[in-house]
Chain A
Amino acid sequence: MIKYIIKRIILIVPILLGVSFLVFTILSFTPGDPATIILGNGAEQEAVEQLNEELGYNRPFLERYFTYIGNIVTGLDFGFSYRTRQPIREELVKRLPISFKLAFFAVVVACLIGIPVGILTAVKQYTVFDTGPTLTALLFAAFPTFWLGMILLYVFSLKLGLLPSYGAVSWYHFILPVLGLGLPEAATLMRFTRSSMLETVRQDYIRTARSKGAPERRVIWRHAFKNALIPIVTIVGVDFAALMGDACATEVLYSMPGLCTMIINGIRQKDVPSVMGATLLLTALCALVVLLVDIIYAYIDPRIAAKYSGRRG
Chain B
Amino acid sequence: MTESPTTPPEKALAPSEKTLEPSETTLAPSEKDIDPSENSLEPSNIIFRKQSNAREIWRRFRKNRNAMIGLVLFVIVFLACFVAPLFISYGKVTKQDIRHRFASPTISHPLGTDHFGRDELARLLYGGRTTMAIGLIAAALSLLVGGSLGMLAAYYDRLDNPVMRLIDVLASIPPILMALAIVSALGTNLQNVVLAIAIARMPAFCRVIRAAVLSVSDQEYIEAARAGGTSDLRILTKHVIPNCLGTIIVQTTMNMSLLMLAAASLSFIGMGVQPPAPEWGAMLSEAREYMLQATSLMVLPGLGIVLVTTQLNLIGDGLRDAFDPKLKN
Contacts and interface: CB of A to CB of B under 8 A. Distances in A.
Interface of A: 14-16, 18-19, 22-23, 26-31, 138-139, 141-147, 150-151, 153-154, 158, 195, 198-199, 241-242, 244-246, 248-249, 252-253, 263-264, 266-268, 275, 279, 282-283, 286-287, 290
B260 to A, nearest CB: 9
B198 interface: no
Interface in B158-187: 165-166, 168-170, 172-177, 180-187
A150 B295 CA distance: 11
Given A138-B313, A154-B291, A199-B329, A19 B184 contact: no
Interface in B311-329: 313-314, 329
Interface stretch (B36-44, B101-109, B268-276): B268-276
Nearest to B327: A195
Size category of the B interface is 35 or more
B325 to A, nearest CB: 16
Contacts of A141: 313
A161 to B, nearest CB: 12
B306 A29 contact: no
A246 B176 contact: yes
A191 B232 CA distance: 40
**By DSSP majority rule, is chain A's interface helix, strand, loop, or mixed?**
helix
A264 B268 contact: no
B246 interface: no
Of the candidates B174, B257, B284, B302, the one having the most CB atoms from chain A within 10 angstroms of its own CB is B174
30 contacts: A14-B165, A18-B166, A18-B169, A18-B172, A19-B173, A26-B184, A28-B185, A138-B313, A142-B257, A142-B309, A144-B268, A144-B281, A150-B291, A153-B291, A154-B291, A154-B298, A158-B291, A245-B175, A246-B174, A248-B177, A252-B270, A253-B288, A264-B270, A275-B180, A279-B181, A282-B174, A283-B177, A286-B173, A286-B174, A290-B172
A41 to B, nearest CB: 17
Interface string B233-273: 00000000000000000000000010001001100111100
Nearest to B180: A263
A35 to B, nearest CB: 18
A146, A241, A252: which has the most chain B beta carbons within 10 Å?
A146
A242 B291 contact: no
Contact of A144 (B177, B264, B288): B264
